[in-house]
Amino acid sequence: MTRARSKWRARVSRHFAYAAVLGLSGLSRAAGARGANIAVVGPRDNPVVLELAQELRAAGFVVKAEIADAARSPPAVTPDDETDIVIRVDAATIEVWAIAEPPGLSTLVDVVPVGSSTNEAAIAARRAEEVVRARLLPVDHSPAFETASATPQVPTPPSAASSPPLKSSTQGSDSPPGSSRPTLARFGLDVGTLLSMSPGGIPPAAELLLLPRWIPTKRIMARTIVGVPLTSPEIKSAEGQASIKEWFFGAAVDWNFLPAEAAWSANAGAGLAGVRLQSQGTANPPFVSSTGDAWGWLPFVDGGLSHRFGSSQIGLGLDAWIGASLPRMAIAFPTRRVATWGSPWAGVSLALKIDAF
């Protein structure tokens, strides 16, 4: 009985000793990783930069820098620099770069996309921290660790010595690798028809509508407006009849309420157009036929909804226009005024939207 107890105690002692050795080795590896030097590169007022730096410091890492840097080439450090990881943050992505030995050669470990909301930005910062932990904390491949832990092993990214330097295919790109969102076109053209209406006695007229557009930012759109008459509505009375042609030329500025990368777009804005009413009269005897021109300004507001077909550069847009001419224009026959135009005025347009570049 005494001999059996001695064997049992010896076996328990060996197990405790083996567990202590594993624990100390794990602590030493964690301590080494927690002392790693990390450079966070990005604007100081970027919330992702602040969140990421705070999380890394809380985890025990040494965050060396928080500076503005718009360059997208692979980061390089001097031989006496002890940086292990460089994290570059911009408005769309978080790039994690590993600095190899000797310093100066870098490898892109992962690219984490950043969403537009505050919650998505916080999630992106946590994911980048997990990438750093997976890079710096080695995986224990001992039999005891593999049988005791059910956590899947994180694959180690290729080292800088075994992989070629990062090619320039990802340099200068504004979208993260693997992103399927379309590139924002700065210039485009809308071609369609406009139904022009004014409740003053002139029937509705159809216009060929040309809208060259410029998008300087993701939210602002500037458009030039050109309207060419397709139909000539007629006014008839006892004195004769007259056909009317409406010409438009102006500009508008609109605000886009949805992300520029989205398939749907909703906009609203205001503008100013010059209007020319051209009349061709045919008089009944004893009156004499004549022609006339009337010019005016048309301030207006507009709103529209458009949809892009998949990932193509072609879409369809529906817009509504409301305004009033200054001054109000009139059509007069020899004995009386027969119609007015522009107070108020409304239009509905349907156009094919083509993104140029």
The region, left, alpha or beta by phi > 0 then psi within -120 to 50, assigned to residue 172 is left
For the chain, which residues make up each domain, given as ranges? 35-170, 187-355
Q: What is the pLDDT of residue 26?
A: 43
- Collect all residues with Cβ–Cβ distance below 8 Å to 114 and sequence separation of at least 6: 48, 89, 91, 92, 93, 94, 120, 121, 124
Average pLDDT of the residues of the chain? 77
Q: What beta strand segments (E) does the chain contain?
A: 37-41, 62-67, 85-89, 93-99, 106-113, 187-198, 202-214, 220-229, 234-237, 240-256, 264-283, 291-308, 314-323, 329-332, 337-341, 345-355
> What does 181-230 look like in DSSP terms, one character per residue?
PPPPPSEEEEEEEEEEEETTBEEEEEEEEEEEEE-SSSSEEEEEEEEEES
The CATH number, out of the four listed (3.10.450, 3.40.1130, 3.40.50, 3.30.160), of the domain defined by the range 35-170: 3.40.50
- Do residues 53 and 66 lie in contact, with contact meaning Cβ atoms separated by under 8 Å? yes
Q: Percentage of the chain surpassing pLDDT 90?
A: 35
pLDDT of the residue at 74: 55
299: tokens are 């301030």
Separation CA 217–CA 187 (nearest Å): 11
Higher pLDDT, 247 or 122: 247
Burial of 26 (0-12, 13-18, 19+ CB in 10 A): middle
Looking at residue 157, what is its pLDDT? 52
Q: Which of 6-15, 89-98, 138-147, 215-224 has the lowest mean pLDDT?
A: 138-147
In this predicted structure, the answer to whether residue 143 has a pLDDT above a threshold of 50 is: no
Residue 244 — very low, low, confident or very high, per pLDDT cuts 50/70/90? very high
- Tens of pLDDT, residue by residue over 248-270, are 999 999 999 998 778 899 999 99
User: pLDDT tens, 102-115?
Assistant: 555 677 778 888 77
Q: Predicted confidence band at 23 (pLDDT cuts at 50, 70, 90)?
A: very low
Give the tens place of pLDDT for each residue, 27-83: 334 434 446 788 888 876 777 777 778 778 887 788 776 565 545 555 555 545 677
Query: In this structure, which amino acid lies at residue 37?
Result: N
Name which residue leads in pLDDT, 301 or 170. Answer: 301
pLDDT at 146: 42
**Is the domain 187-355 a CATH 3.40.640.10 member?**
no
Threshold 0.85, pTM exceeds: no
pLDDT confidence of residue 66: 58
- Supply the pLDDT for residue 352: 97
Q: In this predicted structure, what is the pLDDT of residue 9?
A: 56
Task: Give the pairing type, strands 62-67 and 37-41.
Answer: parallel
- Position 57 scores a pLDDT of 82
The structure tokens 């050669």 sit at: 105
Q: Residues near 21 by Cβ (< 8 Å), separated by ≥ 6? A: none
Give the pLDDT confidence score for residue 132 in this predicted structure: 81
